[in-house]
Amino acid sequence: MKLRMKPEDFIVEEIIDFNKISGKKCYLYKLTKRNIESLKAFSYISKKFRIPLKDIGYCGLKDRHALTTQYISIPKKYGKLHLDEINLKLDIVGESKFLLLGDLEGNKFTITVRGLKKDDIPKIKENLKYLHYGAPNYFDSQRFGSVFDRKFIVKEIIKGNYEEAVKIILTKYKKSEKKIIKDLKRFINKNWGDWEKVWNYIKEKNIKARLYVNMVKELKKSNDYKKALSYVDDRLKKIFVAAYQSYLWNECVKELLKSYIPKEDRIYYEYEAGTLMFYKKIDNEIFETLKDKKFPTIAPDVEYKDSYKEIIDKILKREGLSMEDLNNIGDFGRFIYTERKILSIPKNLNIGKFEEDELNKGKYKITLSYELEKGSYATIIIKRAFLGVKTKKRFR
């Protein structure tokens, strides 16, 4: 199976409650973008209309490799704006207060899965019979872009492995990164510890990427890996902390589900951070028990009780950590407590028919549409729907 062969294969539409965002301070706009990151779109609008980025309100960030519709608010003092470009459109739809991340209700997804083999269709049909039971509400791969070889930067920092944390940042890369950065990271990996040589390479290639320049400059000066980590900006620090906390939550929920799901109904899926456990089917009574149940994230300043504490202690022990250890992240911030639903249940689920795939000769395609609450990953539902079918992503 193939995902995202073109942006129109992955359509995302924001769901907001217009009554909750009513107001007179701003104009409310519908932003439609194709194959563009949300922050890049906001930056473009900011420069084109000379509006400070802080004056653009939004509810969430949307996938790059997709056709997405979301809402943004801009104070009325900048006038009524309009854009109609090939991959970016901006249309005024009314008035509102200044939008914030908490204003999002959810998202509607319309996803076309391609490249399906005829032999896989019976297996997929069986999966789809149980899709209305949803899936574990795991954080998916998009959350773990900073994870390589299942190593977490923040976990290495907690354990005092500062050199390893720096090595992940300075030598590991995704295929989608710019060639000049990939070449730099390869060079650093090959010449690890020879910071004078690496510094000369940076100057020779006229590399401007501030994070890498500052970290190498510090290492050339002091060879202090902990000091080098101080040059990571606050946005990245939050991403690194969130990645590890999200992984721990996934592991806790997987452990919890083992007490409900018989072994014969479990199926496992490898992903960037480890292994996810799905249920092929679930008993109605168990589903009713779990559908509104939440599990907390792990935070060291919270006292957990009963089964939650038992599961959390088990996962931390497996990680070789104590609750107190989670405080050892220096200026990277802190682990924030929140509660997240254990299950992700699609609403208004619509399953299309299997059709011949015009982009893959001799193969089939199918389109699914559904709505999810904010924070839930559409790709988790796709993983559930196509369990046992080999996946090939068009984009990372």
Active-site residue set: 63
Between the alpha carbon of residue 95 and those of residues 101, 102, 165, 254, the distances in Å are 18, 18, 46, 43
**Length, in residues, of the chain:** 396
Residue 98: HSE in the Cβ half-sphere, 13 Å Cα cutoff:
8
3 state SS of 380: helix
DSSP-H helix ranges across the chain? 38-49, 121-129, 153-158, 162-171, 179-190, 195-204, 210-222, 225-229, 234-258, 284-290, 306-319, 378-385
**For residue 265, how many other CB atoms are within 10 A of its CB?**
14
Query: What CA–CA distance (Å, rounded) separates 131 from 298?
Result: 29
Largest CA distance in the chain: 66
Query: What CA–CA distance (Å, rounded) separates 345 from 19?
Result: 25
Output the CA torsion 90→44→142→149 (10° steps): 170
**For residue 343, how many other CB atoms are within 10 A of its CB?**
20
Residues with Cβ within 8 Å of residue 178, at least 6 apart in sequence: none
Exposed / middle / buried, residue 375 (Cβ in 10 Å: 0-12, 13-18, 19+)? middle
Asked whether the beta carbons of 274 and 250 are under 8 A apart, the reply is: yes
Query: What CA–CA distance (Å, rounded) separates 195 from 193?
Result: 6
Query: What CA–CA distance (Å, rounded) separates 345 from 378?
Result: 10
